[in-house]
A and B are shown apart, each in its own frame.
Chain A
Amino acid sequence: MIHRDLLLKMIEEITMVIGANKQYLTDLDQTIGDGDHGINMDRGFRAIKDKVEAVKDKDCGTILKTVAMGLISTVGGASGPLYGTAFMKAGQVVANKMEITAEDAVKILDEAIQGIIARGKAAQGDKTMLDALIPAYDALKAAVEEGEPLTNAMGKAVEAAEGGVAYTKTIAAKKGRANYLGDRSIGHQDPGATSSYLMLKAIYDVLTREA
């Protein structure tokens, strides 16, 4: 179970981790994209800080929706509408709820992925954030259905996402600016998949530390 206050800590942790990896994500993106992923993500998450603070007493849905709107209006690159949609969809799952159950967490990741698919018109194997998120979802769902505690289940999701990031090195990009590179994008890991992994890892780290 993730209480609202723990959700706020997770958002803080994600903001910190994205900030710490700003240069790393930008370097990855410079190799195969337009080189702004780290800068954009960092700008987006820094911009939501005050907005989230203003709704910290509200329900989980409102908090996630606030994150979504903040990212949408400040990120600037493709990750803005994509992560914005993901957080928006996530917020709808837990509208008016003060706590997120393990089942909710599975549903959140599912809805977030469906939102990204609809927005980006991408599929697994296109070398995008989906290549980290879909394996993570599959692992999370399987573990939760087997009755594992959320922290363990999330640990498996993070491992699966890491595997997904490694997989993006082996495939050519079919979406975004990297698509112009075609097969030359093979050998490089996808920045979007990497930021998705970092976010899941941040959530897991908060769970292991606080729960």
Chain B
Amino acid sequence: MVGLVIVSHSYEIAKGVKELSIQMVQSDTKIIDAGGMKDGGIGTDPNKIRDAIVEADSGDGVVILVDLGSAIMSSEMAIEFLDPEQQGRVVIADAPVVEGAVAAAVQASVGGTLEQVKATAEECRNTSKL
């Protein structure tokens, strides 16, 4: 099953998005939060993200949902820190973090492939709210 990693500058945002997404899915879908710095401060930490990817990956790959700016660069760097074998099955979704995570969690929980989970998250970019 594809796993998810939620990256935010804020520990609370990442944790909250994870909790919101878990509500939608079976418990065996791995959704790991990687928000904030080691000391709990605002920021993104490539090492923390790397550890979250390793935890989320059961062999079918991981989709990373990111918030702003350095979340993307730190996630790219985290992927580079992985074993080359694992790097190929970890992708960053170009999607809003809340809507994207919830949609991706549902798609992952029904056994979607890495490509399907990423695409589902990215479709949220075009969903209007009202």
Given that A176-B69, A177-B68, A177-B69 are contacting pairs, would A77 and B43 also be in contact in the complex, using a CB cutoff of 8 Å? yes
**A75, A78, A81 — most chain B CB neighbours (10 Å):** A81
Q: Is the interface of A mostly helix, strand, loop or mixed?
A: helix
Would you give the shortest CB distance from A80 to chain B, in whole angstroms?
Answer: 7
Contact check, A76 vs B69: say whether CB atoms are below 8 A apart. Answer: no
Residues of chain B within 8 A (CB-CB) of A78 are: 69-70, 73
Say which size band chain A's interface belongs to: 10 to 19
**A73, A76, A85 — most chain B CB neighbours (10 Å):** A76
Contact check, B73 vs A76: say whether CB atoms are below 8 A apart. Answer: no
Residues of chain B within 8 A (CB-CB) of A193 are: none
Residues of chain A within 8 A (CB-CB) of B47 are: 72-73
Which residue of A has the minimal Cβ distance to B45?
A: A73
Given that A72-B77, A76-B70, A120-B73 are contacting pairs, would A81 and B42 also be in contact in the complex, using a CB cutoff of 8 Å? no
Residues of chain B within 8 A (CB-CB) of A76 are: 9, 37, 41-45, 70
Tally inter-chain residue pairs, CB-CB below 8 A. 50
Check A91 for interface membership: any CB of B closer than 8 A: no
Within 8 A of A (CB), among B44-88: 44-47, 68-70, 73-74, 76-77
Contact check, A72 vs B43: say whether CB atoms are below 8 A apart. Answer: no
Check B125 for interface membership: any CB of A closer than 8 A: no
Contact among A40, A80, A176 for B74, CB-based, below 8 A:
A80
Within 8 A of B (CB), among A39-91: 40, 72-82, 84-85
Would you give the shortest CB distance from A47 to chain B, in whole angstroms?
Answer: 10
Check A119 for interface membership: any CB of B closer than 8 A: yes
Binding site for A on B (CB under 8 A): 9, 37-38, 41-47, 68-70, 73-74, 76-77
Binding site for B on A (CB under 8 A): 36, 40, 72-82, 84-85, 119-120, 176-177
